[in-house]
Amino acid sequence: MDGRLHRLAAALLVATSATLAGANVLSSAPAFADSEAAMPPVVVELFTSQGCSSCPPAEAFLNELADEDGVIALELHVDYWDYIGWSDPFASPHITQRQRDYARELELRYVYTPQMVIDGQYNVVGSHRQQVRSAIGQATLRGKTLAVEFSGEDGGKIIIPEGPAPPGGATVWLAIYDGRHETEVERGENRGKKLINRNVVRELEELAVWSGERLEIPVDLARVAALGRDGCAILVQQGRTGPVIGAAAMPLEGF
Protein backbone atom coordinates (compact mmCIF):
# COMPACT_ATOMS: atom_id res chain seq x y z
CA MET A 1 0.00 0.00 0.00
CA ASP A 2 2.87 2.41 0.80
CA GLY A 3 4.35 1.87 -2.68
CA ARG A 4 0.98 2.50 -4.31
CA LEU A 5 0.51 5.75 -2.40
CA HIS A 6 4.05 6.79 -3.27
CA ARG A 7 3.44 6.26 -6.99
CA LEU A 8 0.12 8.09 -6.84
CA ALA A 9 1.76 11.03 -5.06
CA ALA A 10 4.53 11.09 -7.65
CA ALA A 11 1.99 11.13 -10.48
CA LEU A 12 0.11 14.01 -8.88
CA LEU A 13 3.34 15.94 -8.35
CA VAL A 14 4.28 15.55 -11.99
CA ALA A 15 0.79 16.62 -13.04
CA THR A 16 1.03 19.87 -11.11
CA SER A 17 4.62 20.74 -12.02
CA ALA A 18 4.92 19.70 -15.68
CA THR A 19 3.11 21.03 -18.72
CA LEU A 20 1.12 18.91 -21.12
CA ALA A 21 3.03 20.05 -24.20
CA GLY A 22 2.14 17.73 -27.05
CA ALA A 23 -0.93 16.35 -25.29
CA ASN A 24 -4.41 17.08 -26.64
CA VAL A 25 -7.13 17.40 -24.01
CA LEU A 26 -10.41 16.22 -25.46
CA SER A 27 -12.62 17.55 -22.69
CA SER A 28 -12.70 18.47 -19.04
CA ALA A 29 -14.51 16.34 -16.46
CA PRO A 30 -18.08 15.71 -17.62
CA ALA A 31 -20.92 17.40 -15.79
CA PHE A 32 -22.24 14.01 -14.70
CA ALA A 33 -19.17 13.18 -12.58
CA ASP A 34 -19.89 11.81 -9.12
CA SER A 35 -17.30 12.67 -6.48
CA GLU A 36 -18.38 9.63 -4.47
CA ALA A 37 -17.63 7.21 -7.33
CA ALA A 38 -14.70 4.84 -7.07
CA MET A 39 -11.56 5.82 -8.97
CA PRO A 40 -10.66 3.09 -11.50
CA PRO A 41 -7.17 2.93 -12.98
CA VAL A 42 -5.92 5.20 -15.75
CA VAL A 43 -5.93 3.50 -19.15
CA VAL A 44 -2.77 3.86 -21.28
CA GLU A 45 -2.99 2.58 -24.86
CA LEU A 46 0.26 2.39 -26.81
CA PHE A 47 -0.10 2.19 -30.60
CA THR A 48 3.08 0.60 -31.87
CA SER A 49 4.63 -1.75 -34.43
CA GLN A 50 7.55 -4.15 -34.46
CA GLY A 51 8.44 -2.63 -37.84
CA CYS A 52 8.91 0.88 -36.40
CA SER A 53 12.45 1.79 -35.31
CA SER A 54 11.15 4.56 -33.01
CA CYS A 55 8.87 2.23 -31.05
CA PRO A 56 11.16 0.09 -28.81
CA PRO A 57 11.77 2.91 -26.25
CA ALA A 58 8.01 3.46 -25.92
CA GLU A 59 7.46 -0.29 -25.57
CA ALA A 60 10.09 -0.40 -22.81
CA PHE A 61 8.27 2.43 -21.05
CA LEU A 62 4.94 0.62 -21.34
CA ASN A 63 6.67 -2.42 -19.85
CA GLU A 64 7.31 -0.30 -16.75
CA LEU A 65 3.78 1.12 -16.65
CA ALA A 66 2.33 -2.40 -16.87
CA ASP A 67 3.83 -3.17 -13.45
CA GLU A 68 2.47 -0.05 -11.74
CA ASP A 69 -0.63 0.16 -9.59
CA GLY A 70 -3.33 2.48 -10.84
CA VAL A 71 -2.57 1.93 -14.52
CA ILE A 72 -4.07 -0.38 -17.14
CA ALA A 73 -1.31 -0.50 -19.78
CA LEU A 74 -2.31 -1.96 -23.15
CA GLU A 75 -0.12 -2.43 -26.23
CA LEU A 76 -1.93 -2.25 -29.59
CA HIS A 77 -0.07 -3.16 -32.78
CA VAL A 78 -0.98 -1.43 -36.05
CA ASP A 79 -0.43 -2.99 -39.48
CA TYR A 80 0.65 -0.05 -41.65
CA TRP A 81 4.37 -0.64 -41.02
CA ASP A 82 4.27 -4.23 -42.31
CA TYR A 83 5.18 -3.23 -45.88
CA ILE A 84 8.81 -2.32 -45.07
CA GLY A 85 10.05 -5.87 -44.59
CA TRP A 86 8.71 -7.22 -41.30
CA SER A 87 5.13 -8.31 -40.71
CA ASP A 88 4.27 -7.68 -37.08
CA PRO A 89 2.72 -10.94 -35.78
CA PHE A 90 0.44 -8.99 -33.45
CA ALA A 91 -0.73 -6.32 -35.91
CA SER A 92 -4.40 -6.02 -36.77
CA PRO A 93 -6.37 -3.78 -39.14
CA HIS A 94 -8.95 -3.43 -36.36
CA ILE A 95 -6.29 -1.86 -34.15
CA THR A 96 -5.28 0.47 -36.96
CA GLN A 97 -8.93 1.49 -37.31
CA ARG A 98 -9.15 2.21 -33.59
CA GLN A 99 -6.15 4.51 -33.87
CA ARG A 100 -7.75 6.30 -36.82
CA ASP A 101 -10.94 6.70 -34.80
CA TYR A 102 -8.88 8.33 -32.05
CA ALA A 103 -7.27 10.63 -34.61
CA ARG A 104 -10.71 11.89 -35.64
CA GLU A 105 -11.89 12.20 -32.04
CA LEU A 106 -8.76 14.07 -30.95
CA GLU A 107 -8.69 16.16 -34.14
CA LEU A 108 -5.25 14.93 -35.21
CA ARG A 109 -4.07 15.36 -38.79
CA TYR A 110 -2.49 11.90 -39.04
CA VAL A 111 -1.77 8.66 -37.18
CA TYR A 112 1.72 7.79 -36.00
CA THR A 113 3.77 5.43 -33.88
CA PRO A 114 4.64 5.31 -31.06
CA GLN A 115 1.49 7.02 -29.80
CA MET A 116 0.06 6.78 -26.31
CA VAL A 117 -3.58 7.68 -25.72
CA ILE A 118 -4.28 8.17 -22.03
CA ASP A 119 -7.86 7.65 -20.83
CA GLY A 120 -9.15 8.33 -24.35
CA GLN A 121 -8.41 12.04 -24.12
CA TYR A 122 -4.66 12.78 -24.05
CA ASN A 123 -2.43 12.22 -27.09
CA VAL A 124 1.30 11.92 -26.31
CA VAL A 125 4.35 10.56 -28.14
CA GLY A 126 4.90 7.25 -26.36
CA SER A 127 8.62 7.74 -25.75
CA HIS A 128 8.15 11.19 -24.14
CA ARG A 129 8.16 9.97 -20.57
CA GLN A 130 7.63 13.26 -18.76
CA GLN A 131 4.65 14.19 -20.92
CA VAL A 132 3.14 10.73 -20.48
CA ARG A 133 3.58 10.97 -16.70
CA SER A 134 1.97 14.39 -16.76
CA ALA A 135 -1.00 13.09 -18.75
CA ILE A 136 -1.41 10.17 -16.34
CA GLY A 137 -1.38 12.63 -13.47
CA GLN A 138 -4.02 14.78 -15.14
CA ALA A 139 -6.20 11.72 -15.76
CA THR A 140 -5.79 10.66 -12.14
CA LEU A 141 -6.91 14.07 -10.94
CA ARG A 142 -9.87 14.04 -13.32
CA GLY A 143 -11.02 10.65 -12.03
CA LYS A 144 -13.84 8.55 -13.48
CA THR A 145 -17.61 8.46 -13.20
CA LEU A 146 -18.24 4.70 -13.23
CA ALA A 147 -17.05 1.95 -10.89
CA VAL A 148 -17.15 -1.01 -13.29
CA GLU A 149 -15.94 -4.43 -12.20
CA PHE A 150 -15.20 -7.98 -13.29
CA SER A 151 -16.74 -10.90 -11.44
CA GLY A 152 -15.68 -14.53 -11.63
CA GLU A 153 -19.20 -15.72 -10.77
CA ASP A 154 -21.08 -17.87 -13.30
CA GLY A 155 -17.97 -18.26 -15.44
CA GLY A 156 -17.30 -14.54 -15.59
CA LYS A 157 -19.23 -11.33 -16.07
CA ILE A 158 -18.80 -7.58 -16.28
CA ILE A 159 -20.90 -5.42 -14.00
CA ILE A 160 -21.70 -1.81 -14.89
CA PRO A 161 -23.84 -0.02 -12.31
CA GLU A 162 -26.81 2.19 -12.95
CA GLY A 163 -25.99 5.86 -13.21
CA PRO A 164 -26.17 9.07 -15.25
CA ALA A 165 -24.84 8.37 -18.74
CA PRO A 166 -23.07 10.84 -21.04
CA PRO A 167 -25.06 12.27 -23.96
CA GLY A 168 -25.34 9.59 -26.63
CA GLY A 169 -24.33 6.84 -24.23
CA ALA A 170 -21.00 5.04 -23.84
CA THR A 171 -19.41 2.05 -25.58
CA VAL A 172 -18.34 -0.98 -23.54
CA TRP A 173 -15.13 -2.49 -24.94
CA LEU A 174 -13.48 -5.78 -23.98
CA ALA A 175 -9.73 -5.97 -24.61
CA ILE A 176 -8.15 -9.44 -24.32
CA TYR A 177 -4.36 -9.47 -24.08
CA ASP A 178 -1.24 -11.60 -23.78
CA GLY A 179 0.97 -10.81 -20.81
CA ARG A 180 4.39 -10.88 -22.45
CA HIS A 181 6.11 -11.74 -25.74
CA GLU A 182 9.73 -11.81 -26.82
CA THR A 183 10.38 -11.57 -30.56
CA GLU A 184 13.63 -11.79 -32.53
CA VAL A 185 13.08 -9.42 -35.44
CA GLU A 186 14.75 -10.75 -38.60
CA ARG A 187 14.00 -8.00 -41.10
CA GLY A 188 12.93 -4.39 -41.37
CA GLU A 189 13.95 -1.35 -39.31
CA ASN A 190 14.39 -3.38 -36.11
CA ARG A 191 16.40 -6.18 -37.68
CA GLY A 192 18.54 -8.03 -35.17
CA LYS A 193 16.71 -6.68 -32.12
CA LYS A 194 14.92 -8.69 -29.46
CA LEU A 195 11.67 -6.90 -28.69
CA ILE A 196 9.74 -7.37 -25.45
CA ASN A 197 6.05 -6.58 -25.71
CA ARG A 198 3.71 -6.43 -22.70
CA ASN A 199 -0.07 -6.69 -22.45
CA VAL A 200 -0.43 -7.14 -26.21
CA VAL A 201 -4.08 -6.77 -27.20
CA ARG A 202 -5.15 -9.75 -29.34
CA GLU A 203 -8.90 -9.12 -29.39
CA LEU A 204 -10.87 -5.90 -29.01
CA GLU A 205 -14.63 -6.39 -28.95
CA GLU A 206 -17.48 -3.92 -28.68
CA LEU A 207 -19.86 -5.52 -26.18
CA ALA A 208 -22.66 -3.04 -25.60
CA VAL A 209 -23.78 0.56 -25.41
CA TRP A 210 -24.37 1.77 -21.87
CA SER A 211 -27.18 4.32 -21.54
CA GLY A 212 -27.39 4.55 -17.76
CA GLU A 213 -29.02 1.23 -16.91
CA ARG A 214 -27.35 -1.49 -14.83
CA LEU A 215 -25.66 -4.03 -17.10
CA GLU A 216 -24.35 -7.51 -16.37
CA ILE A 217 -22.51 -8.83 -19.42
CA PRO A 218 -21.40 -12.49 -19.41
CA VAL A 219 -17.80 -13.22 -20.43
CA ASP A 220 -16.51 -16.78 -20.84
CA LEU A 221 -13.23 -16.28 -19.02
CA ALA A 222 -12.34 -19.98 -19.12
CA ARG A 223 -12.61 -19.97 -22.93
CA VAL A 224 -10.38 -16.90 -23.17
CA ALA A 225 -7.81 -18.44 -20.81
CA ALA A 226 -7.86 -21.68 -22.83
CA LEU A 227 -6.71 -19.67 -25.85
CA GLY A 228 -3.56 -18.84 -23.93
CA ARG A 229 -4.49 -15.26 -23.09
CA ASP A 230 -3.33 -13.80 -19.80
CA GLY A 231 -5.78 -11.02 -18.99
CA CYS A 232 -8.62 -8.83 -20.10
CA ALA A 233 -9.68 -5.25 -19.56
CA ILE A 234 -13.01 -3.50 -19.76
CA LEU A 235 -13.15 0.08 -21.02
CA VAL A 236 -16.30 2.20 -20.97
CA GLN A 237 -15.86 5.21 -23.27
CA GLN A 238 -18.06 8.19 -23.95
CA GLY A 239 -19.37 7.69 -27.48
CA ARG A 240 -17.01 5.18 -29.11
CA THR A 241 -13.53 6.54 -28.54
CA GLY A 242 -14.14 9.45 -26.20
CA PRO A 243 -12.97 9.87 -22.59
CA VAL A 244 -12.79 6.66 -20.56
CA ILE A 245 -15.42 6.95 -17.83
CA GLY A 246 -14.88 3.50 -16.32
CA ALA A 247 -12.24 0.76 -16.51
CA ALA A 248 -11.12 -2.44 -14.85
CA ALA A 249 -8.73 -5.28 -15.60
CA MET A 250 -8.65 -8.94 -14.60
CA PRO A 251 -5.85 -11.55 -14.84
CA LEU A 252 -6.93 -14.92 -16.17
CA GLU A 253 -4.67 -17.09 -14.08
CA GLY A 254 -6.72 -19.86 -12.51
CA PHE A 255 -9.56 -19.89 -15.07
Range of the domain at 40: 2-251
Predicted confidence (pLDDT) at residue 34 exceeds the cutoff of 50: no
> Is residue 188 within 8 Å of residue 86, measured between CB atoms?
yes
In this prediction, residue 185 carries a pLDDT of 96
pLDDT per position as a tens digit, 89-134: 999 999 999 999 999 999 999 999 999 999 999 999 999 999 999 9
Q: Left, alpha or beta for 155 (phi > 0: left; psi -120 to 50: alpha)? A: left
Taking the CA of residue 226 as centre, how many other CA atoms within 13 Å lie in the half-sphere pointing to its CB?
Answer: 5
pLDDT per position as a tens digit, 60-71: 999 999 999 999
In this prediction, residue 39 carries a pLDDT of 60
Number of domains in the chain: 1
pTM assigned to the model: 0.84
In this prediction, residue 216 carries a pLDDT of 95
pLDDT per position as a tens digit, 3-23: 433 333 343 333 333 333 344
